Amino acid sequence: MKKLVIVTGAIAAIATTVASAAILISYDKQTQFERAARLQNLSVVAVKNKDFDLACKAQIGVVDALAKAHVKGHDLVGTATQNKKELCVKALVAAK
C-alpha cells in the first residue's frame, strides 16, 4: 500500500511538471506570435511612410519571432522571409 502511494505521488509530480512545461512553451509561442504581429504591423506602417530601413528591421524581427515560435508552416515563414529580402533590398536602394 505504501509503495502504491509513493508511485502515485511520483506519477502526479511528473504529470504536473510536464503540464507546467507545456503551458510555458505555449505561453512562449503566444508571446512570439504577438511579437511577430506587432512587428509586421510596424513594417506595414513603415512601408506606407516610405521608411524602408525601419520596415526591413521590423521584418527581420518578424522572421526571428516566427523562428523562436518554432512555426512549422513553411508558407508563413517563407512569406515573411521573402518580404524581409524585398524590404531590405529597397532599404539599400533608398540609402544610396
- Span 47-96, pLDDT tens digits: 999 999 999 999 999 999 998 888 877 778 888 999 999 999 999 998 87
Its pTM stands at: 0.74
Average pLDDT over residues 3-14: 52
Record the cell numbers describing residue 9, joined without a space.
505521488
Contact by Cβ (8 Å): 43, 83: yes
Record the cell numbers describing residue 15, joined without a space.
504529470
* Ordered domains of the chain (ranges, CATH): 2-95 (1.20.58)
C-alpha distances out from residue 46 to 19, 39, 41, 43, 87, Å: 41, 10, 9, 5, 10
